[in-house]
Amino acid sequence: MTTFVQQLVNGISLGSIYALIALGYTMVYGVIKLINFAHGDVFMVGAFVAYFAYTGLHLGFIGSLIVSMAACALLGVLIERFAYRPLRQSTRIAALITAIGVSLFLENAGIIAVGAQARGYPDMLPGSPFQVGGVTISTKQVEIILLAVLLMVLLQFIVHRTKIGKAMRAVAFDQDAARMMGIDVDRTISYTFAIGSALAAAAGVVYGAYYSAVDPLMGIMPGLKAFIAAVVGGIGIIPGAMVGGLVLGLIETAVQSFGFSLWRDAAAFALLILILLVKPEGLFGRHAREKV
């Protein structure tokens, strides 16, 4: 029982990291139908920005988190502006290849800037483990979950209650009709990249703090997993990304806790294949036009 609760908390915290990354994939896909393969690398950059803000500028956890989210928001906007926007009218495969190019660029730029070696990450999330009814729970995990919930609530608020959020949904559904409303489509796409990248940055920071190590290639696997989570939930659908992330985190943790650690990644890909076979539109996918 106690291990079950512990594993549950592990699964939810890992899942909420996947969910935060998956949201960026799904939002960007929702508005421009592009799988932004550089998204996992934005997550990596986010982890490093917070690393330097924390160790170099001594900004503390919250300060480093905010600096990292802001920097990655800007990075996301720049990536869209200079790599994807010029290809907006081109084929999807051209944009996809460009996304892979941006991904490789960020990874190699990272290796040049900070070296390929993994480095220890500061213990940013403070607090010691505590006991609830005989179950030991790490404060870090609770903090990760709370942060993820907070950011998701904030995201829901932005998407449903603010003008920019309504513009994002309108552009995702029908760009042309959105233009007829007077919506600035380019600006809306920029905002989408900014928000998605900021969420990835937050995920990068807590990932670094949780696993205590970062390196320039750290974004590849979580990026892939988050992409799977987005597809499992239904690509383009925000609640789908949240649930997909959680499901994936729980499944991976379960596989691991049954002693099959080596099968963890395989389980994620098995889930992807299963979903693509059984319900290719994803758990939350209803009809083809349901987006963002």
Partner 1 sequence: MLRIRDLHVYYGVIHALKGVSLEVERGEIVTLIGANGAGKTTLLRTISGLVPPRSGEIEFEGRSIFRTPARDIVRLGVSQVPEGRRVFATMSVQENLELGAFLRRDKSGVAEDLEKVYTRFPRLRERRRQLAGTLSGGEQQMLAIGRALMARPRLLLLDEPSMGLSPILVQEIFRIIREINEAGTTILLVEQNAHMALSVSHRAYVLETGRITLSGPSSELAKSEEVKKAYLGG
Does the protein bind partner 1 through residue 170 (CB under 8 A)? yes
Does the protein bind partner 1 through residue 290 (CB under 8 A)? yes
Residues 163 and 183: their CA atoms lie apart, in Å, by: 10
Q: Of 32-40, 54-62, 106-114, 180-188, which part binds partner 1 (CB under 8 A)? A: 180-188
Does the protein bind partner 1 through residue 183 (CB under 8 A)? yes
Nearer to partner 1, 10 or 190 (CB): 190
Residues 14 and 218: their CA atoms lie apart, in Å, by: 15
Nearer to partner 1, 179 or 279 (CB): 179
Q: Are 69 and 202 in contact (CB under 8 A)?
A: yes
Does the protein bind partner 1 through residue 116 (CB under 8 A)? no
Nearer to partner 1, 23 or 206 (CB): 23
CA 19, 25, 29, 33: dihedral to nearest 10 degrees? -150
Residue 89 CB burial class (10 angstroms; 0-12, 13-18, ≥19): exposed
Q: Which residues inside 149-168 make contact with partner 1, applying CB under 8 A? A: 163, 166-167
Question: Is beta strand 119-120 parallel, antiparallel or unpaired with respect to 213-214?
Answer: antiparallel
Interacting residue with partner 1 among 89, 134, 262, 289 (CB under 8 A): 289
CB 236, min distance to partner 1, A? 10
Does the protein bind partner 1 through residue 182 (CB under 8 A)? yes
Nearer to partner 1, 58 or 287 (CB): 287
Nearer to partner 1, 123 or 174 (CB): 174
CB 78, min distance to partner 1, A? 23
Interacting residue ranges for partner 1, rule: CB under 8 A: 163, 166-167, 169-170, 173-174, 176-184, 289-292
